[in-house]
């Protein structure tokens, strides 16, 4: 087992910068076209050089890969395509040597239909695991028990000819939902948690954390008024958005289970968890519930900044105020991109003339907000969403809704390390998804050492962030959200930082605060102070200490 060489800091997660690694696409070490754990270990110096505090590794457990690891068939082993448990132990040891904590992605709401638990459960209505999944009889006419819909399209119920019953699947039909109302299921999942904690992990990212429980009465979800439909939970072409999801998720019983999960973490020295709240209707409210009281999740993130709409000063302030209102004692974890959404440089920046400047501005904003931060691999290179041909798609979500929704493959293409190497340095064999030709000019080898590059800006700004604890731990007070300029003060102890962002492609000016200011350097932006105003070029920022 891996022993940690990191300093014990129970509060390490508060304000941490967490770098998300999608293992299939990070580095192929054995020439099979798929990234793996040894590949991640070899590239950890890159993460360390950026200045990230932790990595979050998307699922690497045994899986038939129908949903690329988010369909687990063995929670306590490594899928052979990624390596083995010894490789994972070496990864943790190397990460800890470099000062990086390791968080792993646990998918506890559902398993693969190939998991031995489900194989046994579907065998009869009387076996020992018959109630480990959500089974229900049909209506008298043979139709599903209720109107619940799957995020991946169609009914959330699939018929099983052996049991002559339906089972619930909020995602693919091959991802049956566990029945966490059953205490034996809870015990089994807590044993999984303990297995990985004893192996040396520093925490968890919990997938679809608000899907753990369903309404025992299986009541129909009500319709959602068209004006309330939001495309950030599912694409607009998916009828999932047509319902108000009162009964298929977000159930109150989850709070007690999260307390049990936290109690296991608290048996270990310095563990943290971030929950993904998959709900565009009540996301911040649920995040508030799940992070309240210091006895559930350490932090949560909802979909507000993973939405299609580009952030504006007013919207940024609104989201943070709403979170504080919903979770006055809670802690957020913000992300602009991840493995499930269009990369934010494309999602928000299509049509922006200077995408590098835009990417730098967004990075600096994200890293200045109150909360912790997730950075998705390739974000530091300002990678755009890759355009893939239909025949190259692997994501069942994109295949289902093509061409109106192209799925998630465009943000999952291989990391580009070396513009001159085959497949951008990802590996010698044909990769599982094609390397985007336009990404090669943004490879690590191209940007490294170039102070004007986006990657060096991430590095520089992360150093700047670490030099000022108010960014990681401090409070936030908004000073201005008018027009294109966002201004706020981050304060912690005796330090108060005045932060201004020009979120537009044209020059703008902002009033300096009434307090005296001392301009700060080291963040990579240039702005001029004149007549009690700060003049900001397009897509730029200004930082000062209030004295």
The active-site residue out of 7, 141, 267, 521 is: 267
Whether residues 427 and 446 share a domain: the answer is: yes
Q: Residue 494 sits in a domain of what CATH number? A: 2.60.40.1180
Query: What is the per-residue pLDDT across 49-92, written as a single tens digit (0 to 9) for each?
Result: 999 999 999 999 999 999 999 999 999 999 999 999 999 999 99
* Cβ 279 vs Cβ 301: under 8 Å: no
Tell me which of 439, 464, 489 is where a domain ends. Answer: 464
Assigned domain for 52 exists: yes
| pLDDT tops 60 at residue 353 | yes
Whether residues 202 and 85 share a domain: the answer is: yes
Whether residues 411 and 498 share a domain: the answer is: no
Query: What is the per-residue pLDDT across 133-182, written as a single tens digit (0 to 9) for each?
Result: 999 999 999 999 999 999 988 999 999 999 999 999 999 999 999 999 99
User: Where is pLDDT greater, at 399 or 47?
Assistant: 47
Smallest CA-to-CA distance from 40 within 105, 76, 92 is with 92
Q: State both tokens at 50.
A: 């950026």
Q: State both tokens at 10.
A: 């129970």
| DSSP H/E element including 466 | helix 454-467
Cα(281)–Cα(471) distance, rounded to whole angstroms? 29
Query: What is the per-residue pLDDT across 189-221, written as a single tens digit (0 to 9) for each?
Result: 999 999 999 999 999 999 999 999 999 999 999
Tell me which of 434, 449, 464 is where a domain ends. Answer: 464
Domain total of the chain: 2
Q: Most distant CA pair in the chain: distance in Å?
A: 80
Q: Residue 413 sits in a domain of what CATH number? A: 3.20.20.80
Please confirm, yes or no, whether 266 is among the known catalytic residues: no
User: Which DSSP state fits 251?
Assistant: -
Assigned domain for 9 exists: no
Whether residues 222 and 85 share a domain: the answer is: yes
Cα(136)–Cα(160) distance, rounded to whole angstroms? 10
Assigned domain for 131 exists: no
Query: What is the per-residue pLDDT across 409-437, written as a single tens digit (0 to 9) for each?
Result: 999 999 999 999 999 999 999 999 999 99
Assigned domain for 12 exists: no
| DSSP H/E element including 399 | helix 396-401
Assigned domain for 284 exists: yes
Whether residues 349 and 386 share a domain: the answer is: yes
Tell me which of 464, 482, 517 is where a domain ends. Answer: 464
Whether residues 399 and 497 share a domain: the answer is: no
Residues in the chain: 547
Q: What is the mean pLDDT of residues 485-490?
A: 98
Query: What is the per-residue pLDDT across 217-253, written as a single tens digit (0 to 9) for each?
Result: 999 999 999 888 876 677 788 899 999 999 999 999 9
Structural domain harbouring 84: 17-111+182-464
H helices within 474-515, ranges in order?
none
Assigned domain for 132 exists: no
Please confirm, yes or no, whether 304 is among the known catalytic residues: no
Per-residue exposure over 205-226, b if at least 16 CB sit within 10 Å of its own CB, e if not: bbbbbbbbbbbeebeebeebee
pLDDT at 231: 61
| pLDDT tops 50 at residue 327 | yes
The active-site residue out of 79, 193, 202, 207 is: 207
Return phi, psi of residue 121, to 5°: -60, -40
Whether residues 402 and 306 share a domain: the answer is: yes
Query: What is the per-residue pLDDT across 271-317, written as a single tens digit (0 to 9) for each?
Result: 999 999 988 888 899 999 999 999 999 999 888 999 999 999 999 99
Return phi, psi of residue 496, to 5°: -130, 125
Whether residues 288 and 409 share a domain: the answer is: yes
Query: What is the per-residue pLDDT across 443-476, written as a single tens digit (0 to 9) for each?
Result: 999 999 999 999 999 999 999 999 999 999 999 9
| 482 confidence band (pLDDT: 50, 70, 90) | confident
Whether residues 477 and 424 share a domain: the answer is: no
Assigned domain for 356 exists: yes
pLDDT at 331: 94
**Could you tell me the pTM of the whole model?**
0.96
Strand, helix or coil for residue 530: strand
Assigned domain for 149 exists: no
Neighbours of 393 (CB within 10 A): 18
Whether residues 294 and 257 share a domain: the answer is: yes
pLDDT at 4: 52
| DSSP H/E element including 356 | helix 355-366
Whether residues 489 and 515 share a domain: the answer is: yes
Whether residues 402 and 527 share a domain: the answer is: no
pLDDT at 425: 98
Find the helix packing angle between 183-199 and 85-97, rounded to 10°: 60
* Cβ 22 vs Cβ 60: under 8 Å: no
């Amino acid at each position: 087992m891996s022993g940690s060489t990191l300093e014990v800091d129970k509060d390490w997660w508060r304000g941490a910068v967490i770098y998300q690694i999608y293992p299939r696409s990070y580095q192929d070490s054995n020439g099979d076209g798929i990234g793996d754990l040894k590949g991640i270990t070899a590239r950890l110096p890159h993460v360390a050089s950026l200045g990230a505090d932790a990595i979050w590794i998307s699922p690497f457990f045994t899986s038939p890969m129908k949903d690329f690891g988010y369909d687990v068939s063995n929670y306590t082993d490594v899928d052979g395509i990624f390596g083995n448990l010894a490789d994972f132990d070496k990864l943790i040891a190397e990460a800890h040597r470099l000062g990086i904590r390791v968080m792993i992605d646990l998918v506890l709401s559902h398993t693969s239909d190939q998991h031995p638990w489900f194989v046994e459960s579907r065998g009869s209505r009387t076996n020992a695991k018959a109630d480990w999944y959500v089974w229900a009889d049909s209506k008298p006419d043979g139709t599903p028990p209720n109107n619940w819909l799957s995020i991946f399209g169609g009914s959330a119920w699939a018929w099983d000819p052996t049991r002559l019953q339906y089972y619930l699947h909020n995602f693919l039909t091959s991802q049956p939902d566990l029945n966490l109302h059953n205490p034996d299921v809870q015990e089994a999942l807590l044993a999984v948690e303990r297995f990985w904690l004893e192996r040396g992990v520093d925490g968890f990212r919990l997938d679809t954390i608000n899907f753990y429980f369903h309404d025992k009465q299986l009541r129909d979800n009500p319709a959602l008024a068209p004006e309330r439909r939001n495309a950030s939970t599912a694409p607009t072409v998916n009828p999932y958005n047509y319902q108000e999801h009162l009964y298929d998720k977000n159930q109150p019983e989850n709070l007690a289970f999260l307390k049990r999960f936290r109690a296991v973490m608290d048996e270990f020295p310095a563990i943290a968890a971030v929950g993904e709240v998959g709900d565009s209707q009540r996301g911040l409210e649920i995040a508030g519930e799940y992070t309240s009281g210091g006895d559930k999740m350490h932090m949560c993130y909802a979909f507000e900044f993973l939405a299609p709409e580009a952030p504006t000063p007013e919207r940024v302030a609104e989201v943070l105020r709403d979170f504080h209102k919903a979770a006055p004692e809670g802690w957020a974890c913000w992300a602009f991109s991840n493995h499930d959404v269009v990369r934010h440089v494309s999602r928000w920046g299509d049509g922006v003339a200077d995408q590098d400047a835009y990417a730098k501005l967004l990075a600096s904003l994200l890293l200045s907000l109150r909360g912790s931060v997730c950075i998705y691999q390739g974000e530091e290179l300002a990678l755009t969403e890759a355009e893939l041909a239909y025949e190259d798609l692997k994501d069942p979500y994109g295949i289902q809704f093509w061409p109106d929704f192209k799925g998630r493959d465009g943000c999952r293409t291989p990391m580009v390390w070396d513009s001159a190497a085959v497949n951008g340095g990802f590996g010698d064999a044909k990769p599982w998804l094609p390397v985007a030709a336009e990404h090669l000019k943004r490879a690590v080898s191209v940007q490294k050492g170039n102070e004007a590059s986006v990657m060096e800006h991430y590095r520089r700004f992360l150093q700047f962030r670490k030099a000022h604890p108010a960014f990681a731990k401090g409070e936030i007070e908004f000073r201005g959200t008018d027009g294109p300029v966002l201004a706020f003060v981050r304060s912690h102890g005796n330090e108060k930082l005045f932060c201004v962002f020009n979120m537009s492609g044209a020059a703008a000016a902002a009033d300096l605060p009434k307090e005296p200011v001392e301009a700060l350097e080291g963040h990579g932006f240039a702005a001029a102070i004149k007549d009690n105003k700060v003049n900001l070029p397009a897509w730029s920022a200004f930082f000062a200490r209030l004295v």
